[in-house]
Structures are given as C-alpha cells and as structure tokens.
Structure 1
Amino acid sequence: MTTASTFDSTLSSLGITNAATANKAVASSASSQTLNQADFLTLMTAQLKNQDPFNPVDNTQMIAQMAQFSSVAGIAQMNTTLTGIATKLGATSTSDAMAYVGKTVLTAGSTAYARASGGVNGKIELAGDATNVDVTIADASGNVLKTLSLGQQAKGTVSYDWDGTTDTGTTAAGPFTITVGARNGGSTVAATGLVWAPVESVALSATGDPTLNVTGIGSVKLADVRSVG
C-alpha cells in the first residue's frame, strides 16, 4: 500500500472510479507515485463509507494496515532526522574553525617557520616507493642552507627534522623555503611536502565553508590539515 496503483485498485474494489488519477497518470512524475498519510486517511475514510453493512471491514485487518502505515511513516521520519543529525555532525562551523587560530597546523606547503628551539620539522607524502628522498631548505632569497638526504623510503608519509644549522655551521632563523624530491631509480616519484605553519585567522568561502588563513601558505581548507600542534 505504497503506490498510486494500490490506491486505485483499492478504490476499484469498493466500486469507486478514480478519474482524477487516470487523467493525471501520464503527466505525474515518478516522485508523485507514493501514498502519503493524507492519502491513506482518505482511502480509509472511503473504505468505511462504502463498506457493506452486512459484511463490514474486519477491524483486525484495518488496525494491521494502520499499524503498518504508522511504522513506515515513523521509519521515514526517523531517517530524515538521522540524516539531519549526520549532516550537522559532518559539517564544521565557524566557531569550530576559530579554535585553530593561534595554533600551528601541518599542511601541504613550501614555507616553514623555525621552532622556538630552532630548526624545522615536517613530513613528505610519497605516492610510491623511492630509492632516494631529498629535502632542500633555502632562505627567503633562495640560497640553499641545507640538503637532507633521507635515503630509501617506502610509499606513505616520511618525517624529517632539521636543527637549523646550515652547511657552513651557522644557525638560520627563517622563514624557510622547503623543496622535496623523490626518485625510484631513474623515475620521479610524486612527493608532497608538508610543513608546520601558524594559523592567523578564519575566513568564510563563497560556499560558506570556513577556511584557515595560514602564514606563508594562504587559504587552507580544514580537510587539508593533516595535524594540529
């Protein structure tokens, strides 16, 4: 008892012709071919009005039909409620994003800032196995300060740490430009550099989703944040 055809057949068994349904059958869309609560009540009222007084509708059957419809309606309402809850839980509000302000986040980028103790650390996401992975650290003018060779690494995330000491033995302050590269034999392996950078503020994008304004990187979606420090 969930389609218009069921509604029509039931009316037909009562000797009632549903001309309106017949006229609208071609024009109606698939989304309208369902029996809602109002239709059910109309059907039940028509059934009671046209029942044979010598052979009335079985109360047990009618109650079973009402219970079945009530269950279906309840399940539909529950699904709608759960969908709304899931959407709310999956969404990130502006107030949630504001919690990032003043913290540092690990995200894709090439500009890194020195830690309080000096130097920087970061990570590299490798798309495949590599026989050699290099991290080149340069100053704001592009002068190379240090090159770290991480050697052979497996596909996945690789960490690196630099104490801030340059090849000449001096200590650099930053900010730094980080360049990563990976090769597997003679082939280049796709590598994404992840750096730690402070969050300055939060902004709302054109779609209404909050984004982070990260120093040295710019606008970063919350989904692109790998870690929070």
Structure 2
Amino acid sequence: MTTSTFDTTLNSLGITNPSTASATAAAANASTSSTLNQSDFLTLMTAQLQNQDPFNPVDNTQMVAQMAQFSSVAGISQMNTTLSSIATKLGATSATDAMSYVGKTVLTAGNTAYARSSGGIAGQVSLAGDATDVKVTITDQTGSVLKTLSLGAQKAGNASYDWDGTTDVGAAAGNGPFTVNVAASNNGTTVGSTSLVWAPVESVSLPANGNPLLTVTGVGQVKLSDVVSVG
C-alpha cells in the first residue's frame, strides 16, 4: 500500500500510525488466501479510508465503482454456487426414478446369467482395447463348460454375443444360472475385458448417502451409474 504524506510525517516523528499497522496485518492475512471474500474487501476498503491522504482523499466515483464491481463479482459467485446446487439436484436420481427399474432387465457388469424364456442368454464383452481374439465361456453351476463362443477380432468397446442355449454337443443347457467368463487378447497379449450380463432388477434400496442401489438377480447391488442399458 502506498504511504501517504500523513504517514510519512508521523514516521519522521517516530510514531507508527495504528491504522497503518492494522491495514498491514489485514493485507498479510489476505495474502495467505488465493481469493478475497466480502469481509476481506470491506477490511481493505476501511483501511484505505483510514489511511487516505486528507489533502488528496479517494475519489468518490472510484470508490463507488470499486464497490459496484465487488458487488457484481460476489453476486456472480453466489449465483454460480446456487446453479451448481441446482445442477447437482437435477443430476441426482430420485427414489421414484430408481423404483421404475424394478421388474426391468438391465445390462451391467457380472458373471451370473439366467436363461431367457426362449432359452439361452445374451450379453456383451467390454474391451479396454482392440482384440484379435475374444472368447466367451459359459459354464453350469458345477463348473462344467457348456459352450464356448468365439467372437473373433473386435474393436475396443462393447462386443455383443447371443447364445441359443445349446451346449457344444447340441444338448439343451437348461435355465441356469450360468457363469459367464470372458477372455480377450491382441496377437497373444492379454486385453482387459469385462463380462456384461442381462439380469432382472428385484428391488431398490436407499442407503444413508441417498444414492439408490438396484438389487439385480445373480449380480447383487448395482449403482445406477453402472447400468449400461435397460431392457
């Protein structure tokens, strides 16, 4: 802060202006923060008024402009906070929205699948990268392999498959539950892969944090954000 003629005169007499010391302390405190709030602004403005040169006071027009500018910035900051809260509320899924999933079938990460009414299952393999060979192995509850599907080369992303419910020897596999395991490689190098299965939603629970969880048959509790698709 610029030293006024009044302060210079006091200093020459060996007297420290108490207001100047307060202003210096306020400025030091303000420097520890990356932003100035309304309280900081009022403290600095008061210090400016207390330490202004009585022969050259702060121009009223400039002071009003400063106050108007700060008021505008403070208003914008408050508005941003309010809009952020509204956006969070709108983005959140309500209990009513979550309840609408009950009775529907969702596609989500899992390894347990049940047969459709027409027999067999459908699902997807989520690939972290391009693959030259993708395989889906379906086993029964005892771990015996029922069917191995070869999806061939697939690009990164989700690759779909559909099993008609017959085993490798042509017999009917039954209603399950089935265990689905996926594997992918790119010219011998393993590619990250995740099994996505279709399963019915049994119920919805509301934990203390307020984020609904779907109870999915054979999968367990699933976040709404983990649902890839709804059937």
Taking the TM superposition and a 5 Å limit, the aligned residue runs for 1:55-204 are: 58-166=59-167, 167-170=169-172, 172-204=174-206
RMSD: 3.5
For the residues of structure 2 that align with 1:127 and 1:98, how far apart are their CA atoms? 32
Tell me how far 1:47 sits from its aligned partner.
Answer: 4.5
User: In 2, are the aligned partners of 1:134 and 1:180 still within 8 Å (CA)?
Assistant: yes
> Percent of counterpart pairs with the same letter?
61
Q: What residue ranges of structure 2 are gaps of 5+ in the alignment? A: 8-16
Cα displacement (A) at 1:139: 2.2
TM-score if structure 2 supplies the norm length? Answer: 0.75
Alpha-carbon distance between aligned partners in 1 of 2:145 and 2:34, rounded to the nearest angstrom: 68
- Residue by residue, what CA displacement relative to the aligned partner does 1:181-216 show, whole Å, maximum 9, x if unpaired? 223333332221100111112223464432221110
Change beyond 3 A, Cα 1:12–1:213: farther
Alpha-carbon distance between aligned partners in 2 of 1:57 and 1:185, rounded to the nearest angstrom = 76
Given that 2:146 and 2:173 are in contact with CA atoms closer than 8 Å, whether structure 1 keeps it comes out as: no
Structure 1 unaligned residues grouped into runs of 5+: 1-8
TM-score (norm 1): 0.76
**Distance between the aligned counterparts of 2:108 and 2:6, measured in 1?**
69
Instruction: Kindly provide the amino acid, as one letter, of the partner of residue 204 in structure 1.
Output: L
The aligned counterpart of 1:30 is 32
Which secondary structure does the structure 1 equivalent of 2:68 belong to?
A: helix
Change (3 A) 1:108 1:51: same
d(CA) in 1 for partners of 2:91 and 2:63?
42
